Amino acid sequence: MIPLSRHRLLASALLLLGGTLLVGASSAEAQVTNGTLETWATTPTGWTTATVPNGTVGVGTTATPIQIAGLTSGSTSAAYLPVGSAMSQDSSSSLTNFSLSFVVAATDPGNGNRSFNLALGPQDTNISQSGSLSATFINLKVIGTSTPGTLQLQTYNGSWQTIGTLQSSTFNTGTNTFTTLNAYDFTITGSFSNTYGASRYTISYLLEGSSTPTVISNISYFQGDPNGSALGLVEFNGSSSQSGYAIDNIVLAAVPEPGTNLLLGLGGLLFLTVLGRRSLERARSIAA
């Protein structure tokens, strides 16, 4: 946990790197289509959706994302992914250094079971939808614990590693609304280049309404070795989920190389810059 009030001495660094990120704003807007999830046909426009058979949802059963109310102020639409559903999108270009932000609200699947699942990999893989999990670079999930309402955030590197704790939300499947909403702003900043010797990433997350983010810096847990590779696919899936979750406000940005090392090291501060950029993109989307 990093109290923001303790970082005044780093304000100049924040402003400098924040400016660098904003220079790349046009690139960020182009990386994924309909990241605000405001545009839908039957499913969210621009996203590939599919049913992923698992122990709960069998072959022949349809499970696709559902349009629901937005998870944050200013958002009018989000996607709820029931068990067995998946949505993915290739970025417009492959990214060696990147920042991915989104909002997630996960329900409680029960002790040891999975809700939210995010897989990041190379372009044109549709990871869980094609069974190509070996192509995954970063594999994150949220699971239930023995304490109802408390969830664990885990990442995979041959075995699951617990790196954080979240509060669950409660979703009414009859009305498609949350009766209890604990929405989290997430930012994942990573470098798959050889510039710093090895691939690594930083995760920052903040409960909506809170002022203190949780920051896990310089993570080196990967399912597949991405060193020298590039991120090209973002996939939210329920291939092994036992309860659903909701996603909103997805922004994928290319991070300029000079800023990547600072970005990884100052994740908590730069998290605010990413939130500001995402708000700007949403405003532009609504205006259009």
Q: What is the pLDDT of residues 9-67, one digit of tens each?
A: 333 333 334 444 444 444 444 699 999 999 999 999 999 988 776 545 555 566 889 99
Which among 122, 134, 60 has a CA at the least distance from the CA of 88?
Answer: 122
Q: What is the pLDDT of residues 197-224, one digit of tens each?
A: 678 899 999 999 998 899 999 899 998 8
Q: What is the pLDDT of residues 163-204, one digit of tens each?
A: 999 999 999 999 999 999 999 999 999 988 766 567 889 999
Query: Domain tally for the chain?
Result: 1
pLDDT at position 193, please?
Answer: 75
Domain extent, residue 99, equals 4-287
Q: CA-CA distance, 90 to 85, in Å (whole number)?
A: 17
Q: What's the average model confidence in pLDDT over 136-163?
A: 96
pLDDT at position 239, please?
Answer: 73
Q: CA-CA distance, 191 to 189, in Å (whole number)?
A: 7
Q: Is the pTM higher than 0.75?
A: yes
Q: CA-CA distance, 235 to 173, in Å (whole number)?
A: 23
pLDDT at position 229, please?
Answer: 83
8 A C-beta contact, residue 135 and residue 122: yes
CATH number at residue 124: 2.60.120.200
